[in-house]
A and B are shown apart, each in its own frame.
Chain A
Amino acid sequence: MNRVHPRPGWGRSARFRKTVRIAALSILIYAVAIIYVSPILYMFLSGFKTEYQAVNPGLIFTPTLETFRKVLSDSSMYQYLRNSLFQVVIGSTICLALGVPAAFVLVFGKFRRKDSSDKIHAWFITTILLPPVAVIIPLYTWYQAFSLNKTPLGLLIAYVGFHVPIVVWMLHSFFSDVPLEIIEASGIDGCTRFQQLVFIAMPLVRTGIISAGLLVAVFIWNEFFLGFNLTGNNTATLPVYMARFREQQGMFIAQLCASSTVAILPAIVVGWMTQKSLVKGLTQGAVKG
Chain B
Amino acid sequence: MTKKKHDLAFVLPAIAVVGIMTQVPFILTIIYSTLRWNLARPDLPVKFIGFDNYLYFFRVPHFPAIPEFYAIVWQTILITGATLVLCVVTGFMVSILLDNPVPGVNIARTLMLGPFFVMSTASGVIWKSTIFNTTFGWYGVLFKSLGLTPVDLLSYHPVLVIVFLFWWQWMPFFVLVILAGLQGIPVDLSDAMRIDGTNWLQSTFLVKLPLITNHMRVAVMLGLVFVVKEFGLILVTTAGGPGTRSYTLPYAVYMQIFNASNVGRAGALATITVIITLLAVNLLYRSLRRRRAAEA
Interface residues of A (CB under 8 A from B): 22, 25-26, 28-30, 32-34, 36-37, 39-40, 42-43, 46, 55-57, 98-99, 101-102, 104-106, 109-112, 120, 123-124, 127-141, 157-158, 160-162, 164-165, 168, 192-193, 197, 218, 221-222, 224-225, 228-229, 238-240, 242-243, 245-246, 248-250, 253, 256-257, 260, 263-264, 267-268, 270-272, 275, 278-279, 282-283, 286-287, 289
Contact = CB atoms under 8 A, between A and B. Distances in A.
A contacts with B: majority SS: helix
B121 A239 contact: yes
A158 B24 CA distance: 12
Interface string B168-184: 10000000110011000
A278 B218 contact: no
A102 B16 CA distance: 11
B138 A57 contact: yes
A283 B216 CA distance: 10
A112 B125 contact: no
Contact of B218 (A28, A40, A282): A282
B163 interface: no
5 contacts: A26-B103, A39-B126, A257-B126, A275-B176, A283-B215
Nearest to A285: B218
B70 interface: no
A260 B126 contact: yes
A36 to B, nearest CB: 6
A271 B229 contact: no
Most buried by B among A120, A161, A272: A161
A104 B105 contact: no
B215 A287 contact: yes
Given A39-B123, A132-B231, 18 more contacts: A26-B102, A29-B98, A32-B94, A42-B130, A56-B136, A101-B11, A105-B7, A133-B269, A193-B3, A222-B119, A229-B254, A239-B120, A242-B121, A242-B125, A243-B236, A257-B130, A270-B117, A282-B222
B218 A286 contact: yes
A161 B266 contact: no
Given A110-B4, A275-B113, A138 B32 contact: yes
A278 B115 contact: no
B67 interface: no
Given A141-B263, A238-B119, A55 B214 contact: no
A246 B231 CA distance: 14
A174 B239 CA distance: 41
B54 interface: no
Nearest to A241: B121
Among all A-B residue pairs, the 9 with the closest Cβ atoms: A161-B21, A271-B117, A224-B232, A109-B7, A250-B136, A135-B25, A102-B14, A222-B119, A246-B236
Interface residues of B, number: 99
A34 B111 contact: yes
B26 A135 contact: yes
Nearest to A127: B22
Nearest to B103: A26
Given A37-B111, A157-B17, A289-B292, A29 B105 contact: yes
Interface of B: 3-4, 6-8, 10-11, 13-15, 17-18, 20-26, 28-29, 32, 94, 97-98, 100, 102-105, 107-131, 133, 135-138, 141, 168, 176-177, 180-181, 214-215, 218, 221-222, 225, 228-229, 231-232, 235-237, 239, 249-250, 253-254, 257-258, 263, 266-267, 269-271, 273-274, 277-278, 281, 288, 292
A137 B29 contact: yes
B277 A129 contact: yes
A137 B114 contact: no
A164 B129 CA distance: 36
A105 B7 CA distance: 6
A131 B277 contact: yes
Contact of A57 (B109, B137, B274): B137
A227 to B, nearest CB: 9
A224 B121 contact: yes
Contacts of B222: 282, 286
A123 B237 CA distance: 35
A283 B114 contact: no
B130 A275 contact: no
A212 B274 CA distance: 26
Nearest to A22: B102
Contact of B108 (A30, A228, A245, A279): A30
Contacts of A131: 225, 228-229, 250, 273-274, 277
A138 B25 contact: yes
A87 to B, nearest CB: 13
A157 B119 contact: no
A270 B113 CA distance: 12
Nearest to B293: A289
A161 to B, nearest CB: 2
Contacts of B6: 192-193
A161 B108 contact: no
